[in-house]
Amino acid sequence: MAPGGSTCKEVPESHSITADYDIATSNAEMKISPPIKATITYGGKPVTSSTNGVHELLECPVCMSSMYPPIHQCPNGHTLCSNCKIRVHNCCPTCRYELGNIRCLALEKVAESLELPCRYQSLGCHDIFPYYSKLKHEQHCRFRPYNCPYAGAECSVTGDIPFLVLHLKDDHKVDMHSGCTFNHRYVKSNPQEVENATWMLTVFNCFGRQFCLHFEAFQLGTAPVYMAFLRFMGDDNEAKKFSYSLEVGANGRKLTWQGVPRSIRDSHRKVRDSQDGLIIQRNLALFFSGGDRQELKLRVTGRIWKEE
């Protein structure tokens, strides 16, 4: 027994705890990341340690993520990250003694001297960063994997664009089309149902890149609406090089939208909520559908072009 220490009963399950850092340390991402080699700088010359010793010390033994200040330790010297410290109710997960409030300044200083490769090295990023700025870079690293753009179901698949295109086709059975113009019919037998669950996704192959055309019904405030918008399967700086137009209409009336595709880095939800697309009020949508207003039949035509 440590002097003055008391054992505690709660032992956290090491796998149920996740880090709260902005960067998601999802299993999918961890699988693609290679084992990271620690590079320690001695007198300005980086020396790569093959044992990974220092880097392992900086891994929280509870959640396995990299630790950032304040790094905590128990009276027996076991370290853990600040997120986990809150969750373990003042009880060291390793030896179960009372944690107290001891900071591990030595380890924080050691971390300062480390230089590590970006975690997306295997995906093409070859930059090396001081330990404390690595996380910030990784949040914006252009090689970081994309989230699956499929909406309507929580899909946690991540990867590069060619991988996600295959995933959409094989796992979500998404329609794939080639060409930069399209003419699409959306038919729904019960247009009174305007729930979040109503959506469709089509992928267009155009200029050698892929674009996601989303069509969905949702409640905008109290008004039921339909919305169509385009997302680009790539980063924002490239998305901006394209424009697109969408048209819907019937009986001599027509609604037109011209916009810039949004990167799939922006979630489907974010684009929808910013109303960055063609929005059709339900009344108008039913008018465009013709007939007895019992069925939604919309024809959406569109075009994608490159801005030079």
Interface residues with Zn ion (CB under 5 A) are 60, 62-63, 74, 76, 78, 81, 84, 92, 94-95, 118, 120, 125, 141, 148, 150, 155, 157
135-161 residues labelled b (16+ CB within 10 A) or e (exposed): bebbeebebbbbbbbbbeeebebbbeb
Select 102 or 220, whichever has its Cβ closest to Zn ion.
102
Token pair in block for residue 280: 């059709």
Minimum distance of Zn ion from residue 290's CB (angstroms):
35
Minimum distance of Zn ion from residue 158's CB (angstroms):
9
Select 125 or 228, whichever has its Cβ closest to Zn ion.
125
Minimum distance of Zn ion from residue 232's CB (angstroms):
17
Select 111 or 280, whichever has its Cβ closest to Zn ion.
111
Minimum distance of Zn ion from residue 59's CB (angstroms):
9
Minimum distance of Zn ion from residue 147's CB (angstroms):
8
Interatomic CA distance for residues 249 and 75, integer angstroms: 72
Dihedral of CA atoms 264, 268, 270, 274 in degrees, nearest 10, equals 100
Select 84 or 116, whichever has its Cβ closest to Zn ion.
84
Select 75 or 249, whichever has its Cβ closest to Zn ion.
75
Minimum distance of Zn ion from residue 141's CB (angstroms):
3
Residue 68's contacts (CB-CB under 8 Å, 6 or more residues apart) are 21, 81, 82, 111, 132, 135
Cβ-in-10-Å burial (0-12, 13-18, 19+) of 120 comes to buried
Minimum distance of Zn ion from residue 189's CB (angstroms):
27
Select 94 or 281, whichever has its Cβ closest to Zn ion.
94
Token pair in block for residue 168: 């959409």
Select 81 or 194, whichever has its Cβ closest to Zn ion.
81
Q: CA 184, 190, 191: angle at the middle one, nearest 5?
A: 65
Residue with tokens 């405030």: 221
